[in-house]
Structure formats: C-alpha cells, structure tokens
Amino acid sequence: MDELELLKKDWDKSKKNYPNLSKEEIYNLISKRSSSIVKWIFIISVLEFSLWTILSFSLDSSYNAIEKIQSYDYEFIYYPFISISYIILFVFMYLFYKNYRNISVTENTKMLMERILKTRKTVKQYVIYNITVMYLGIILGVIMELSSNSETQILISDIKSDGENGIYIFYLIVAVLSLIAMALITILFLGFYFLIYGLLLKRLKINYKELKKIVELE
C-alpha cells in the first residue's frame, strides 16, 4: 500500500469525526478549537501567577521572610531575582495571549500548524523556566541559611570544633536533603503541569495532526 493510500485512509478516519463537512469547514472547526485551547492556556497561566503571588506574600508575612533576608544582607540578590522572575512571567503571559490572538485570526492551514507548534514550544519553555526558578530559589535559600543564619552559624561552629570530618558530613547531608527536596518538588510541579498544560497540549497535538492530513491531501 503506497503513501497516498495511507493518507486517504487517515482522511477517511477524519471524516468519521467530522461527518458531512468540507475541508474548509473542518479547518474552521479545528481553528476555533485550537483558539479555545490556547485561550485556556493563557487564562490558567494568569490564575497560576495570581495564586503563587498570593501564596508568596502570605508566606512572607507569616514567616517574616523579608526581615530575615534584610538581616542576612542578601537584598542585593533577592530583590533582583524576584524582579527578574516576575518580569519573565509577565513576558510568558504576554506570549500566551499573543499566541491566542494569532491563532484566532489565522486563515491559512500551514500558518495555523506553525502557530500550534509555537504555542506548544512556549508552554514547554514556561514549564522548564518555572522549575529552573524553583531550583535557583532552593539553592539561594540554602546558601543564605548556611552563611547568615545565626543559629546555623552556631551549629556549624560546634560541628567544626568536633573535627573537620564532621563539617564535611554536615554539608553532604545538607546537599542530599536539598537534592531530595528538589526531586520531590519537581515531581509535584511536573504532575501539576501535566494535569493542566499537558492535557491541553495533547489536544493541540491532535489538532495539528488533523491539519497535517488536510495539507498532505491538498
């Protein structure tokens, strides 16, 4: 069976999903469906941003995090880190909105396919960015606690007084616990993102495949 026959069979399957519809009507249906999916990606990113912002301010006020950071003399790292993180998040939200607007007005099949791929790529970059920021936040927090927390400094001094091997073991334990924390948070984040963004991306992938069939049979 040649490639053309396989394409025709795929098209026949598509026609079962869209009975009595022309290629143009199927395209319009897929376009609207893709636009709706990308709109939800944008809405969810805004809700997620709002949720994490509220949680961040709540935790800061509950644990006096700002006062601790000021006492540690790490404002020169903390504030730029937070500011840049928020700026990049705003950029991602703008890109999600831009992708939604672009897909909504696209009238060309190949262009719609390109924009679906671009949206999928943007979402994956967004997930990688959030996990990377989480890693950097944990590393920064550990460094601040080890270098500036008075109670931790007393503990380190006591361990050093017992011998050099003790401090190496202490730092090894801190490193292992930090890696475990990163692994657990990564699993939670990936599970969260898969449930929300992963399912939406899967639907976009299905739409992309349907559009590809239309293009290959033109």
Q: Is the pLDDT of residue 194 over 60?
A: yes
Nearest-angstrom CA–CA distance, 66 and 19: 61
Spans of all domains in the chain: 3-216
Question: Stretch 38-58: mean pLDDT, rounded?
Answer: 85
**Residue in 37, 31, 29, 27 with CA at minimum distance from that of residue 201:** 37
Mean pLDDT for the chain?
80
Question: What is the structure's pLDDT at 125?
Answer: 92
Q: Is the pLDDT of residue 80 over 70?
A: yes
Cβ neighbors of 145 (< 8 A, separation 6 or more) are: 152
pLDDT in tens, 101-114: 888 887 777 888 88
Question: What is the structure's pLDDT at 217?
Answer: 62
Distances (CA, A) of 84 to 54, 81, 98: 18, 5, 21
114 or 9: whose pLDDT is higher? 114
| Helix orientation angle between 199-216 and 3-17, rounded to the nearest 10 degrees | 120
Question: Stretch 157-161: mean pLDDT, rounded?
Answer: 81
Percent of the chain with pLDDT over 70: 82
Question: What is the structure's pLDDT at 154?
Answer: 82
Question: What pTM did the predictor assign?
Answer: 0.76
Of 32-36, 49-53, 111-115, 161-165, least confident by mean pLDDT is 161-165
Question: Stretch 47-58: mean pLDDT, rounded?
Answer: 81
107 or 60: whose pLDDT is higher? 107
**Residue in 82, 89, 206, 208 with CA at minimum distance from that of residue 137:** 82
Band the pLDDT of 122: cuts 50, 70, 90.
very high
